[in-house]
Amino acid sequence: MWIGVLCGLLAGAMWGLVFIVPEILAAFSPLELAVGRYVAYGAMAFGLLLPRLKSLLRSLTPSDYAALVRHALAGNIVYYMLLAMGVKYAGVAPTSLIIGMLPVVVTLLGRNDHGAVPLRRLALPLLLVGAGIACINVDSFAHAPPGTSTGDIALGVLCAMGALLCWSWYALDNARYLKRHPQFSSSQWSALFGLSTGVIALVLGLCAWLFAEPAPAAPARDWPLFWTCCVLLALGASMIGNGLWNVASRRVPVTLAGQLILFETLFALAYGFVYRGTGPRPLELAAIGLLVAGVTWSVRTHRDEAGGSAQPRDADLVEGDGVAAPAHRHQA
């Protein structure tokens, strides 16, 4: 299980980057950010799949294609557009912490899945997580930048909540699909996921370019920086991050995976502190402490639960409707 925890932590370090890039590329729209990132991701996935692409595509069924399309939209493109809008209008910290509620939402949705620890044993860890999220949101709204309207903050919060709902649904639906179809290795499904996302992003980008109304003259934008960030996100957050999460998804139960998603929030906050050149404020420190305590407590609870029962066989983890953890991420 500890290998899964480590992979979840490293995936969180990769995914935390997605919150800071919209701040760096504030001159670009959320649609441009999503299209750029996922076209680059799709190109990388295509290169990885090329030697066996024909045979792999022939093995896919209509339900596989449908799953890839809905997961690409909910888990990547729509999710990231909403996340970027949240960062644009509400800021990095509120967006990252609202999406940081994923552990609570995924844990509640996956409470009946295979390997889930009873919620009564997770009540106190989840309470710590909730308290941490409350602290950071109070701090973020209390320290909104001058000139920021209440309407903008509200819009950003709504977008962040939409991103939260998108990925919560995607996480469990994708995980259950992967567990029911063990013929796909983690790397194969991740590459197919990236390829489908890239194709959809390319179509969206072409449609936006063809049908968008001419925009008034605007200051020149830094396109080399844009593509550098897109490629780095595609490689780090999408390729490496998703691969690490797929390893974690096969090794930890869904309730623990929900807690490990918090590492993304912690890394996003850390990157935000570095970018703005200041340290965390008292409420931010309290939030980080509460979140870390909640995750640590949950890990120990799962370890104790695993120690009290026989280790499940691999077949037990992939048969039926059970799921060990949410597989893949956007990112995440």
Q: Tens of pLDDT along 212-237?
A: 766 555 567 899 999 999 999 999 98
CA angle 259, 265, 266 (to 5 degrees): 95
Q: How confident is the model at residue 202 (pLDDT cuts 50, 70, 90)?
A: very high
230 versus 305: the higher-pLDDT residue is 230
Count: domains in the chain: 1
> Residue 326 falls within a domain, yes or no?
no
116-154 residues labelled b (16+ CB within 10 A) or e (exposed): bbeeeebeebbebbebbbebbbebbbeeeeeeeeeeebe
Which residues form the domain of 266?
2-212+221-318
Residues 158-196, buried b or exposed e (16+ Cβ, 10 A)? bbbbbbbebbbbbbbbbbbbbbeeeebebebbbbbbbbb
Q: How confident is the model at residue 327 (pLDDT cuts 50, 70, 90)?
A: very low
Q: Is 299 domain-assigned?
A: yes
Q: How confident is the model at residue 85 (pLDDT cuts 50, 70, 90)?
A: very high
pTM for the structure as a whole: 0.79
Residue 317: the pLDDT is 31
Residue 124 falls within a domain, yes or no?
yes
Contacts of 203 (CB under 8 A, 6+ apart): none
- Is residue 328 one of the residues assigned to a domain? no
Q: Does some domain include residue 183?
A: yes
- Identity of the highest mean pLDDT range in 141-145, 191-195, 247-251, 254-258: 191-195
In a domain? residue 329: no
